[in-house]
Amino acid sequence: MKGVRGAGLKEGILLALLLYLETACAGGMGEGRSLPVLEKEAHGALVRGELTKALRLDRQALALSPGDAILLNNLAVVEDRLGEEEKALQILEEANRKSPRDPKILLNLARIELKIGREGEAFRTAGKIVAMDQWPEGFRTLMGKIDIDLSRYGEAHIYLHEALERHPGNPLILTYLGIVHYRLGELSDAKNNFREALTRHPPPRLRGTLEKLMKAPDRVLGPAPSRSLVEEGSPQKKAKGSP
């Protein structure tokens, strides 16, 4: 009986040790790693689509440097990818308060504001970037979409053409440009844009939209105007920077 109890005790100790090791590994994952390493690993996880891992690593990075505007921006991007737009908005607003002239933070903030239907706020936020010497990557495309939603088709046309010059064949830019041409009554150009976008291997969701736009654009975008629209106001100036 003494031997049985001794064996049970040993097994109990072994089981407890294994459970402790599992808990320690789960709870301590990422502990001891430097901030640059955590940032790099989080970015890699985001690129690979491992959003839960990216979220965990970004939070660990923020624990090492609370309130860091760049880390807050990184976390907001992941939250947005996870469909948590309101969380992303709150995080970006905090990041913007800490670094009000960071163009990447302003760009992401404007994107989220546009995504949740706050077109006017998105326009004002993005407008802060216009006067900067360098525009962040994706700014022209975003401004094109904002101007489409605000029915500023002339301005959208300029931004999107500039974006297409820098990213030839981008299916999303071509789609937006096609929408602008449609709104301006330039139906042949719109069809050409949609057709070319379809040949550029768009992601499934965009492909589905493009197929609908090719078959019956009026069902997606409403009735097309009978002639080109002439908009008031001068066009936006081009950027000084290259992005």
pTM confidence score? 0.77
Cβ–Cβ under 8 Å, residues 109 and 99: no
Is residue 240 over pLDDT 70? no
Whose tokens are 């049985």? That residue is 4
101-160 pLDDT, tens digit per residue, is 999 999 999 999 999 999 999 999 999 999 999 999 999 999 999 999 999 999 999 999
The Cα 108–Cα 49 span in angstroms is: 19
What pLDDT band is residue 4 in, cutting at 50, 70 and 90? very low
Res 24: pLDDT: 32
The C-alpha atoms of residue 164 and residue 129 are separated, in whole angstroms, by: 19
